[in-house]
Amino acid sequence: MKYLLYEEKDKNVGVLTINRPEALNALNSGVIAELQTCLAELAKKAEEHSLRCLILTGAGEKSFVAGADIAEMRSMTVEEGRAFGLEGDKVMEALEDFPCPVIAAVNGFALGGGLELTLSCDIRIASTKASFALPETGLGIIPGYGGIQRLSRLVGAGFAKEMVYTTNRIKADAALSIGLVNHVYEPEALMTEAIALAEKITSNAPCAIAAAKKVANASVGLELSKSTRLENPAFGACFATEDQKEAMAAFVEKRPHSPFTGK
């Protein structure tokens, strides 16, 4: 891979780094294609539970991802623009539907497509150096990777529309206050905290985590009564797993449970 780095940490945690620091990790077609391929490969590991939490970050000190590549987009036709958007959408969907949780560790600029990338992750944490914006309308375009929709759902339409219409860049503390990120850390602590959060997630039963993610995603936009019905079959299916049997037996027998197997 030319633009991506992947590292496996202990406890079934993986770290995927977008590595194009000379362009502040901007998403050109090459980065997008590599993300599609790499996420498809990693999804297989996650299905088998050898990967149980993925952390997504950007290379260098300055940027998570500074958006889609403006130099590449500048001369696109209508059709090319649509095709470029659709390829990125596939990455956003691969992250959203990824079989285990994905944490965005936002180490710097998360602008345009970079912010949109974080919105497709399950959880966002940021360093104090992070900043967030949707600069697209200042470039004569709109957010094209689902940013308007996902940001509205996360922080409400009012804040989302303000960010889209103004292009204002907000700092990590403001992002925290509107619920765009869950936690803010000093830059040198960001990856340690991301890994600690990931390990806390991977200490729980992987089938249950995967089922919870599917139910949470499928429930978005549904009426409460319809979304609670989605939950019931998934809840029932947990009782077919060895992990449920072992965890509950261990509780009743007052002993620690054996490590979760994902079976």
Residues that bind ligand HXC (CB under 6 A): 23-24, 26, 66-71, 84-85, 88, 109, 111-113, 135-136, 139, 143-145
Check: CB of residue 220 under 8 Å from CB of residue 153.
Answer: yes
Identity of the residue, 13 or 105, whose beta carbon is nearer to ligand HXC in the bound complex: 105
**Catalytic annotation, pick one of 116, 162, 186, 223:** 116
| Residue 136 known to be catalytic | yes
Q: Which residues in 38-48 are b (16+ Cβ under 10 Å) and which e?
A: bbeebbebbee
Closest distance between ligand HXC and the C-beta of residue 109, in Å?
5
Identity of the residue, 9 or 153, whose beta carbon is nearer to ligand HXC in the bound complex: 153
Identity of the residue, 23 or 33, whose beta carbon is nearer to ligand HXC in the bound complex: 23
Closest distance between ligand HXC and the C-beta of residue 198, in Å?
27
The closest of 195, 156, 111 to 185, measured between CA atoms, is: 195
Identity of the residue, 23 or 247, whose beta carbon is nearer to ligand HXC in the bound complex: 23
Counting Cβ atoms within 10 Å, is residue 11 exposed (0-12), middle (13-18) or buried (19+)?
Answer: middle
| Residue 116 known to be catalytic | yes
The closest of 123, 119, 110 to 53, measured between CA atoms, is: 123
Counting Cβ atoms within 10 Å, is residue 199 exposed (0-12), middle (13-18) or buried (19+)?
Answer: middle
Closest distance between ligand HXC and the C-beta of residue 182, in Å?
23
Give the active site residues. 116, 136
